[in-house]
Chains A and B, each alone.
Chain A
Amino acid sequence: MEPEGVVDVLRRLLAALVTGGTVVDLTMAPPDEVVEVEGEIVGHLDGSLFFPRALAAGAGLDELAAEGLLELVREDPVTVIVRYPTGNDLVEDIADRTYTCMPIELAELLETVTTECLLYSDCVVRTFTKL
């Protein structure tokens, strides 16, 4: 969702929710995602364009909470692992993303890796109640 106008979209969607209902928001969180090969960290992705957008969109829920429409009831961090058969698979997958980049040095290294590569992504699950 584009950060601009996110509050308006949230208002419409929250109208579908019963009073006392629940909102669960799963989103990716800083720091940058970590790449691991054979148990060693070999680099990080560049989320410098992605995270400001994600945080701005997520702030829409905070804005509605500040207005008294929602109440934050819990926040749970979670780290998710994505497994790629080879380094090249990981490079190709990240190339499809719009706002997250892979540093060229890391891409060149991963293109030589023929074993499994792991990508660690930190996420946050926030739970709100509609007041």
Chain B
Amino acid sequence: MSRVLDAEGAHLATILRAADFANKRVLEVGCGEGRLTRGIAPLAAAVLAFDPSCEDIARARANFPEELREKVRFEAARADEIEVDPQSVDLVFFSWSL
């Protein structure tokens, strides 16, 4: 089965209008296969991206653009398992995860 989710880019365009990601340290909760992470990472200072699915995280790591990899860390964890230092991020992004 193949599908194309949001080929028009409406999600990413709306998210980038909703907040300023430029040079921000971003915590993304529910990154899936990194579809929106790819749009955020070029702007952000760093992205820490979580998803409960180990398969999705593996795909996100494997398919992420080489030139952006040093900015992004993908980790498999549920929202209630995420451990991040206090006051260490500038923006929290819940991507279909609440």
Q: Which residues of A contact B (CB under 8 A)?
A: 1, 5-6, 8-9, 12-19, 21-28, 54, 57-58, 60-61, 74, 76, 78-85, 89-90, 92-93, 123, 125-127
Contacts and interface: CB of A to CB of B under 8 A. Distances in A.
A24 B2 contact: no
A57 B89 contact: no
Nearest to B98: A57
Interface residues of B, number: 40
A74 B14 CA distance: 11
B18 interface: yes
The A interface, classified by DSSP as helix, strand, loop or mixed, is strand
Contacts of A14: 92
Contacts of A25: 94, 98
B80 A5 contact: yes
